């Protein structure tokens, strides 16, 4: 018992060291990248008119915060991502559930999902604007188009790959398909569904930014488009950098949720 406890302590210590090393390397790589970028700019080895630099990004961010522009555009983008994400994930869960419970429905709809998922969504942008108008609806619809089909396919695949032993056991007790889904399929795939959130939120993110590039007059996508049109590279790269930070925060939140579900 004491030997096992000692081994367990060593294991926990090794896991903690590994976690510290991973976190350190993540920060180290970021510092090297930003520091190298700034040094290249300071020594005139790169053209800051085309590439900007970290100090210029900080200055532009401060300017946007000072006149409240940043929070307005950030709020618009977050709202569109949140609404698109909620709708997309809800639709995906419902359709994937129906597909598992009703196999005939799955066989009918499967080729359509594959075809719709493979469509070039960007090319549909003008059509979406005609359907939904040049408004927030178009942006949310673009996010839905890009994220929903791939999420349905992923979640349904997780449901299909559930261990059959538990399903057969439930069937021997006379459980209905709905009972099997509630007591076996769904609980067995909590962690998988949370993992699919990463894909879903990233695809929504892409869709919303693409929509903002096309029609928005507010949002981080609009700042990128506006900065490009007036050759304000600092504004463009600052907006991209803020998008990266936002994506990282979303990744951390989903990872924390995934850990909580796993344990």
Residue 101: C-alpha distances to residues 58, 184, 194, 251 (Å) = 52, 13, 21, 31
Is pLDDT larger for residue 39 or for residue 3? Answer: 39
| pLDDT value, residue 55 | 93
Give the pLDDT confidence of 47-97 residue by residue, as tens digits: 888 888 999 999 999 999 998 888 999 999 999 999 999 999 999 999 999
Euclidean distance between CA atoms 103 and 82, whole angstroms: 31
How high is the pLDDT of residue 263?
A: 60
pLDDT of residue 235: 92
pLDDT in tens, 140-176: 988 888 889 989 999 999 999 888 888 888 888 888 8
Share of the chain above pLDDT 70, in %: 97
Helix ranges (H only) for the chain are 2-42, 48-51, 54-66, 69-101, 103-118, 125-132, 136-160, 164-172, 177-180, 186-188, 190-215, 220-229, 233-262
Instruction: Please give the pLDDT value at position 35.
Output: 95
Summarize pLDDT for 203-258 with one digit per residue, the tens.
Answer: 888 889 888 888 878 899 999 999 988 888 999 999 999 988 888 888 888 878 77
Mean pLDDT, to the nearest integer, of 105-133? Answer: 83
Measured distance CA(205)–CA(9) in Å, rounded: 41
CATH of domain 50-262: 1.10.3720.10
Q: Using an 8 Å Cβ cutoff, are 152 and 113 in contact?
A: yes
Report the pLDDT value the prediction gives residue 1, as an integer from 0 to 100: 45
* Domain boundaries of the chain, sorted by first residue: 1-46, 50-262
10 Å CB burial of residue 34 (0-12, 13-18, 19+) is middle
pLDDT above 90: percentage of residues in the chain: 33
């Amino acid at each position: 018992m004491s030997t096992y406890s000692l081994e367990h302590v060593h294991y926990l210590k090794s896991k903690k060291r590994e976690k510290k090393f991973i976190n350190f390397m993540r920060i180290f790589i970021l510092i090297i990248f930003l520091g190298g970028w700034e040094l290249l700019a300071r020594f005139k080895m790169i053209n800051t008119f085309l590439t900007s630099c970290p100090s210029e990004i900080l200055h532009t961010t401060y300017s946007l915060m000072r006149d409240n522009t940043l929070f307005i555009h950030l709020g618009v983008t977050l709202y569109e991502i949140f609404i698109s994400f909620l709708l997309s994930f809800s639709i995906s869960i419902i359709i994937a559930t129906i597909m598992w419970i009703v196999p005939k429905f799955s066989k009918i709809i499967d080729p359509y999902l594959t075809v719709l998922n493979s469509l070039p969504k960007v090319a549909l942008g003008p059509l979406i604007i005609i359907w939904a108008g040049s408004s927030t609806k178009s942006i949310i619809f673009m996010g839905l188009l890009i994220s929903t089909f791939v999420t349905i396919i992923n979640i349904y695949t997780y449901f299909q790959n559930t261990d059959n032993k538990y399903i057969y056991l439930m069937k021997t007790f006379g459980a209905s398909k709905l009972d099997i889904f509630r007591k076996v399929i769904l609980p067995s795939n909590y962690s998988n569904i949370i993992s699919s959130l990463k894909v879903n939120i990233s695809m929504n993110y892409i869709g919303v930014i693409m929509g903002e590039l096309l029609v928005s007059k507010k949002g981080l996508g609009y700042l990128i488009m506006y900065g490009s049109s007036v050759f304000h590279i600092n504004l463009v790269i600052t907006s991209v950098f803020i998008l990266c930070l936002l994506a990282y925060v979303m990744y951390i939140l989903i990872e924390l949720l995934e850990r909580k579900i796993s344990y």
